[in-house]
Amino acid sequence: MAANASADGGIIPVSPYAQVLAPEQKAAIFWDGTTERMILSTKITSNDSAGMAWVVPIQSSSQPKVKPADTTIFFKLALVRGRKDV
C-alpha cells in the first residue's frame, strides 16, 4: 500500500501492507518576529505497529530543532475558546 502524504507530511509504514491513518491533528503556531515555533499533535492509528516514519516537509535554510512539547497548550487554547471537547 502506498503511503498518503499531505502538506503537513506523510506517514510511511515499515510494512507495505500496513494501513496507517491520521484522523486527527491539532497545531499551534507561534511567531516572535524572528523564530516560528510549531507544536503538532497528531493521532495516528495503524493495523500494524511494527514501525513507521513521519516525514514533515519544511522550508528552512537551517536544520530545524525537533523536541517533545507540552501538549497541554491545546487544552488551554480550547478553554479560551470555550470548548471542552478537545
Domain ranges of the chain: 5-80
CA geometry: angle at 30 spanning 28 and 32, to 5°?
Answer: 175
User: How far is 69 from 86, CA to CA, in rounded Å?
Assistant: 17
pLDDT exceeds 80 at position 84: no
User: How far is 50 from 37, CA to CA, in rounded Å?
Assistant: 30
Residue pair 52/43 in contact (Cβ under 8 Å)? The answer is: no
pLDDT, tens only, 6-24? 566 788 888 888 888 888 8
Rounded to the nearest angstrom, the gap between the alpha carbon of residue 21 and the centroid of all alpha carbons in its chain is 12
Per-residue pLDDT band for 32 (boundaries 50, 70, 90) equals very high
pLDDT, tens only, 41-66? 888 888 887 788 878 777 778 787 87
Which pLDDT value is given to residue 64?
Answer: 78
pLDDT exceeds 60 at position 1: no
